[in-house]
Structure 1
Amino acid sequence: MGEFLVEGKIIKFYREKAQMTQKELVQGICSITHLSKIERGITEYSKEMITLLSERLQIDITEEVRKYHLLSGKLDEWQNALISQQTEDTARLKKEIEDEPLRELPDFHASYNLILSRYHLFMNLPEKAFETIQIIQGKESQLSSYERNYLKHIMGIYYFLTGQFKDCINILTSIDHTGYHHNEYYYHLALAHHSTHSNIASYYYAEKALAYFRKTLNVLRIIDTETMMLVQLNSRELHDFDDTKKKYDSLIKMCDTCQAYDRKSKLLNNLAFECYRRKRFDDARKLYERALQLVDEDNPFYTMFLDGYINNAIKGKLLNNTELTDLAKKGLRLAQKHNGMPPFYFQLHLYAIQEEEEKFYRLIEEEALPYFRKTGYIVLIDHYEKKLFHYLVKINETTKALQLAQIIIESHKSHYDGMN
């Protein structure tokens, strides 16, 4: 961008900030018409003139131009820190950028708010992110092609964090990849497909994301993506356990090297689940306990790890009912307090432990299934629909059972539907 144009924008910005009219600023220096052209960057001017205007505004124009270009670079740096998930750097850059008055220039409005909303999502503050997103959407017609695609990416992350996985997939797949170079969005597509148990699609997009993270030497996101691919490898059928454990151990060592203990906790949780699926309940318990020790109770992942720990303890008969009840009550309290797993997960545990069958199935019908259908949790939809169907048959609720059977049949269309 030409320095004339930058200087003109800075003059206009500080004039308006000082609540000065063009007439007040130009008195004894130049004409209002000439200042208007300077502010729009459509005319050349002498160094002496810009110095006089700057002195009247009590700014150093050379320093302000330097800050302008520095701010542009810092916004890029902030964006890259968010992609790399460097928590300390993202917080530091946010403060530095917000301390810079030039941030309020129209040039930076869209990019600043886009990255700010991404920052809020990174900090797991979807409500704050959505407030900023609405500001951007109010001026969407003014966005560049890149910015419109970036907005879609941010909306996709927002939908994912709020459990709207189908909306997440729809908006992320509408991104024009020819005009958007942050292929990180493939990772979020993989996450959303994983959450709807579309494992082949999840693996496909994870491979694309992995290529991007390797190209950009983003070690933490390489760990994330290889974890995702390992989960998909075991999704439909159990992969060789020794090979699975070897790969998890390798990723856990990478986390230790990077001091990425949050990621290590998730890997321990995933490996615990693989042990649970193979009925290695004692091994699973130890891994869940290690995972729980690495996260604070106010961390949203704590309730997810605790849910797995309770499931494993029930199936493996590792704890008595009193111990299980205490854990389920703790999980319910934490889930109600923090944005982790929905509280009904732990309420279901309590009803199951206390053998309150009617309350258990009523909660499945009224809360669990509507939630899973909304978010697209296909495996859990199948699991709980079948459990509810058998219960309805058992208590002779024939009409309800038939209605549910119809829903189950319609949701499992044959691959031959539509063929002659």
Structure 2
Amino acid sequence: MVIKERQAGGRMEFGSLIKYYRTQKGITQTELAKGICSVPHLSKIENNTKEANEETIALLLERLSISLEEMEEKEEQIKNLLRDLSNKINFFLLKEVEEIYQELKNIEHLIPFSKHIFIWELAKYRYMLFKGLIEDAESQRDLLYKQKKNFSQHESYLFRYYNAIFLILKGQNKNADNLLDTLYVENDHDTTSGEFLYHRALVKSSLEQSGHAIHFGKMALQIYMNQHNFLRILHTLMLLGISYTHSKIYEEAEGCFQHLIRNAELLKEEKMLPQIYHNMGFLQNKMNNNTKALFYYEKSLALQQSCNEHYLVTLYSIGEIYFAQESAEKAKNSFQKVQSLAKELGSKKYRLLADFYLFHLASPQKAFKYLEAKVIPYFEETNEPIDFLTRFYKMLSDYYHENGMLHKAMSYLNKITGGLL
């Protein structure tokens, strides 16, 4: 659908609507105008170059078997459906979102004649992002970009905000962060919604700015709690739990995950439970509670499909614990499964990691050569988080120190400290 220029005033654009239905029904201008107005007058009405009185409009619509009241009701219906669609997306209610979107699609032919054309096109963009339809969303973004000069201030804000969500989904978190920061400064009064604050927290977490992620996450959580927005409360608690873990605020993190487990089980949010259990396992591992970590990782695995990236990460985490506990056979079994699944999924990262640990179980000397030659260069190239790389820098530093190669040991310690040694 081609987006039209915004109409003046607050009513449905009856001239365009009359032309649309007249051509749909195969009626000529002469047939429609007969006894109501002249053909030139009708032509001007249809092209929105002449204001027509309500009586003339009503008579033309009546001849087309459409009532003026019905059209005004449609205008109100469009407005209400668009508002409801936005609310249901904010409450993350998947079924309701789909139902309302389909209702809007059923009357989409009327929307260009209303004052809501840009809000509808923006709503479609948000819906596509909500559904993860990235290619469709990109096409819709390009279509909207061509019309942005015609947007109201509020529509311009929505377009830029949705563009930030698009960037998040594309993994361009730094660009998304810059855009959200700009919107926060420019539109402080418009950016106090839970959704905006949640997305700010999500981006800050992705950029390993855990302090900022906690700040915005707590603000979002308060709004969601005031709204009784239960699913978004769970999503925000997950985000906070992860951010507290990275900030080593373990007691707060554990509280978030315990609350999540209770409520996700109560609300039967089975899709979230594997991730909750995994993150609780990761936290327990950080706290050196290996028995508890294994317990939660195993609970996560039991609820997951085996052929996906999430399963692979959990399986690898279990292998690392067994390796640390020097349970060689259990570690070997886990890493062999990781190796096989990583090849199947095309995950070079976890294939390299599995190879390293399997080499280590057979020959530490060979493993550290592989770590230095293959694993670390790949991770440095792909910009893995520094705390992830630090573990392997420390392994190599310790290995070289134990073998009397102090210069090489120091070179890896320098990587850990950023060259401050």
Q: What TM-score do the two structures reach when normalised by structure 1?
A: 0.78
Aligned to 1:368: 379
- Which of the residues 36, 58, 75 maps onto 1:29? 36
* Residue in structure 1 matched with residue 276 of structure 2 by the alignment: 267
Say whether residues 1:90 and 2:97 are aligned partners: yes
Match of 1:132 in 2: 140
Are 1:123 and 2:131 counterparts?
yes
SS at match of 1:163: coil
- Matches of 1:292 and 1:249 in 2, distance apart? 18
User: Following TM superposition, by how much is the alpha carbon of 1:218 offset from its aligned partner in structure 2, in angstroms?
Assistant: 0.8
Where do 1:260-409 residues align within 5 Å? Answer: 260-297=269-306, 301-317=310-326, 319-334=330-345, 336=346, 343-355=347-359, 357-364=368-375, 367-372=378-383, 377-380=385-388, 409=418
Output aligned runs, 1:231-270, within 5 Å. Answer: 231-240=242-251, 244-270=253-279
Q: Does 1:62 align with 2:69?
A: yes
Distance 1:171 1:247, change over 3 A: closer
The answer to whether structure 1 residue 190 and structure 2 residue 194 are counterparts is: no
Deviations 1:200-232 (A, max 9, x none): 111111122122212322111122223322333
Q: 1:115 to 1:190 in 2, by over 3 A?
A: same
> Which region of structure 1 is more displaced relative to structure 2, 56-65 or 189-198?
56-65
Report the counterpart of residue 167 of structure 1 in structure 2.
Answer: 175
Equivalent AA in structure 2 for residue 66 of structure 1: E
Q: Does 1:213 align with 2:221?
A: no
Moved more, 181-190 or 20-29: 20-29
* Counterparts in 2 of 1:19 and 1:148: CA distance versus 1, 3 Å: farther
Q: Deviations over 1:317-371 (max 9, x none)?
A: 452424421233214423x4xxxxxx23312222213325555445445543233
Q: Residues of 1 paired with 2:417 and 2:47: CA distance?
A: 65
Partner SS state of residue 271, structure 2: helix
* C-alpha separation in 2, matches of 1:120 and 1:214: 26
Q: In 2, distance between residues paired with 1:181 and 1:40? A: 39
CA, structure 1 residues 258+138, in 2 after alignment: closer, same or farther (shift >3 Å)?
A: same
Note the residue ranges of structure 1 that are not aligned, 5 or more in a row: 337-342, 413-420
Relative to structure 1, is the Cα distance of residues 94 and 249 closer, same or farther in structure 2, using a 3 angstrom cutoff?
Answer: same
C-alpha deviation, 1:287, in angstroms: 0.9
2:237 corresponds to 1:226: yes
Letter in 1 for 2:44: S
Contact residue 129 and residue 165 of structure 2 kept, 8 A:
yes
Distance 1:330 1:278, change over 3 A: same
Contact 2:396 2:412 in 1 (8 A): no
The AA in structure 1 aligned to 2:158 is: Y
Distance 2:53 2:175 in 1: 52
Cα distance per residue 1:64-117 (max 9 Å; x no partner) = 332232122112211111111111112222222212222454744432332323
Distance (whole Å) between structure 2 residues aligned to residue 103 and residue 358 of structure 1: 65
Tell me whether 95-104 or 193-202 shows the greater mean CA deviation. 95-104
Report if aligned partners of 1:310, 1:328 keep a CA contact under 8 Å in 2. Answer: no
Deviations 1:279-329, CA, capped at 9 Å, x for gaps: 322321221122233344466644443443343343344524244212332
Matched, 1:155 2:163: yes
Q: Provide the residue aligned with 1:76 in structure 2.
A: 83
In the alignment, structure 2 segments of 5+ residues that lack a partner are: 1-7, 360-366
**How far apart, CA to CA, are the structure 1 residues paired with 2:121 and 2:11?**
26
* Count of residues paired in the alignment: 395
Aligned amino acid, residue 140 of structure 2: T
Q: Which has the larger radius of gyration?
A: 2
Secondary structure in structure 1 of the residue aligned to 2:139: helix
Q: Which has the higher contact order (CA 8 A, sep 6+)?
A: 1
Give the 3-state SS of the residue equivalent to 2:250 in structure 1. Answer: coil
Change (3 A) 1:142 1:3: closer
Q: Does the C-alpha gap of structure 1 residues 152 and 384 become closer, same or farther in structure 2, counting only changes over 3 Å?
A: farther
**How much does 1:61 deviate?**
4.2
Asked if the contact 1:29/1:53 (under 8 Å) is kept, the reply is yes
